[in-house]
Structure 1
């Protein structure tokens, strides 16, 4: 059983146990659906030791006292830590008690979540009231004291303060990030998703790409950047305009499937706007030798500056590639780093294999988003509702 399958089984147990206890929720009429990530993957060192560690609390419609200190809020998302490389298609963090640190919102928060909407599982999105809201992110100390129990003097250190407008039954992904690497300006992106409104085939895997890196990041001296060895050649950033090449491979190395060696998908441009990027697709059963029940293919994504031929593999010491012209992402297995792909950033496969019906496992196509942020890359996977296991 793969790591993903173990997590799914554990999550199923959490849901089963949760159903046995009484939790009182306030019904939300005309909801919107919101998921929030903290993309402030900053390096804190001697050169910027006075900068705040990006450990946050999110308040929606806060109540502020006469001294400018928040005392309550309609919605609170506390202990919001830096996001993890993989955001799976199920609420994997709910029920975790090892730490209050939350890699996303709702994540560990026990709140009303989204339904299955047009076949897509929105259980990783929180229900929130639609309409206009003030949303404020605050720095908070790295401890396990709830935000409103902190001393007043530490409850007014704002990161971002803005107003958002959420549509009824619309699906939103929010990012808190650094807009400018030199000035340290912070901001948010509120992206209104459209995957649930598109005529997507359940036999195709979809993926879109964003570069949410700060302005000036890739051009800055590498001594100013966080050491991210696991990001491979991407750790110092990619250029503001890159071509995307997809290769589909069999396990064990650089074994491409016919017709899927450096297939050109399009471009990704650095942009911190709210637009939705187009989706690219490839067949779930691209391997003609598969039985159309389960497949073990993995995805290799090359990001290259315009004009670079993908067949000309960069040579030399990967640790010294700092010109931003090359990035490599391997979506392989459960995301564990493999030695056969030098210089790659490893993320889990975009294909989910799980016990469904009489098949254990069975492969399912998904909708995916890859976001590049300041020398790192993150994968979010969304899954359709599937037939439960038959034991």
Structure 2
């Protein structure tokens, strides 16, 4: 059948419109914002009165006379519980596997941050600096955009506040359960400083937060969700824990890198209200002897122990999980986050050292800046990296 001219033109217009580049309005004086939903509970018979932890973020919303939002300058919709790993690149952009967004900006097509002091801020969204009204709304778990929902489904306010975002500052916003008994929720807005620090390209940096809800650690085990992948951490950890660091280069625990067996790092205190940036601790990218200065197989193990416990003679190594009761937990940073077969009762996240094809090296190892955040029986790793040379094939 011969196509007529109008049909051909229509078809071409459809193709070009589907491939059209999205143009974003330039923001002259931005701040940079990244948002995580740390409400990691599941609604079941036991807590059926809680709202589903699935959110919409509205920045500078317009509301009607009843206070219901009808539009917003910026919308971060379908904000799901965060992933266990936030990599040093925007891994969710363009993903159509699900309508759910594990962080903001995540899948959102928005202007993102630049390379600032060498650090890649493409996982942070640009937001006009200044004062903003910010609302977080509970929403049903479906793929209907927030403002297309029925009116009765757009009235469940989680947070309604005003935030000051200063020019060219970097912010991470956390939605949290504040109290495990009362189920009170809230948020913490942290102004990051890693891009202002004199950090070395030859060192790995990490800091730690325990942002668990008040009362979670001491609550009865029967009230805590079973999270097998969290290992012993599923029970939470006490409000004060010592952090011990070990470094290994192979798949067993008998031969750590010399000088890196149970090295004390810090005392970790539970706090879900402070926005103070915790100190960074460091170790060399090429700490192991015999490396070629290009790649390393080193991986990390974080041991959390109550004060007074001797890491060299841990009495809980052979105890059943139910007897640990928050006194001991381990986080391994290994491979791509797959639990190694020789470990048990261990939560595993990806290696803090990024190994990637770069230039002519495949792979090459790169230093990073990392944050480990513990929230109600889970641990989350966020990794930030400087720009690295693109692969040469």
Q: TM-score range by the shorter chain?
A: over 0.9
Distance in 1, matches of 2:318 and 2:180, equals 28
Distance in 2, matches of 1:145 and 1:266, equals 45
SS at structure 2 position matched to 1:361: strand
Partner of 1:46: 45
> CA offset at residue 322 of structure 1?
4.7
Partner of 2:352: 350
Partner of 2:285: 284
User: Hey, which bits of structure 1, 4+ residues long, moved more than 4 A?
Assistant: none
Contact 1:233 1:321 in 2 (8 A): no
Q: Can you give the 5+ residue segments of structure 2 that lack an aligned partner in the other structure?
A: 1-18
CA spacing shift, 1:318–1:106, aligned 2, 3 Å: farther
Aligned residues: 372
Contact 1:304 1:327 in 2 (8 A): yes
Partner of 2:4: none
Partner of 1:119: 118
Deviation string 1:67-117 (CA, Å, 9 cap, x unpaired) is 221100011000000000000000000011121100000000000000000
SS at structure 2 position matched to 1:160: strand
> CA offset at residue 289 of structure 1?
1.4
Deviation string 1:129-185 (CA, Å, 9 cap, x unpaired) is 111111111110000000000011110101111111001000000000001111111
> CA offset at residue 357 of structure 1?
1.2
Highest CA radius of gyration, 1 or 2?
Answer: 2
Partner of 1:323: 325
> CA offset at residue 33 of structure 1?
0.3
> CA offset at residue 256 of structure 1?
0.6
Partner of 1:377: 379
SS at structure 1 position matched to 2:312: coil
SS at structure 2 position matched to 1:256: coil
Contact 1:222 1:322 in 2 (8 A): no
> CA offset at residue 45 of structure 1?
2.2
> CA offset at residue 324 of structure 1?
1.1
Partner of 1:365: 367
Deviation larger for 42-51 or 256-265: 42-51
> CA offset at residue 317 of structure 1?
4.2
Deviation string 1:14-67 (CA, Å, 9 cap, x unpaired) is xxxxxx741110111110000000000013222211211100000111111012
Q: Can you give the 5+ residue segments of structure 1 that lack an aligned partner in the other structure?
A: 1-19
Contact 1:174 1:189 in 2 (8 A): yes
Partner of 2:32: 33
Deviation string 1:253-308 (CA, Å, 9 cap, x unpaired) is 11311100000011111112111000000000011111110001100000111110
SS at structure 1 position matched to 2:260: coil
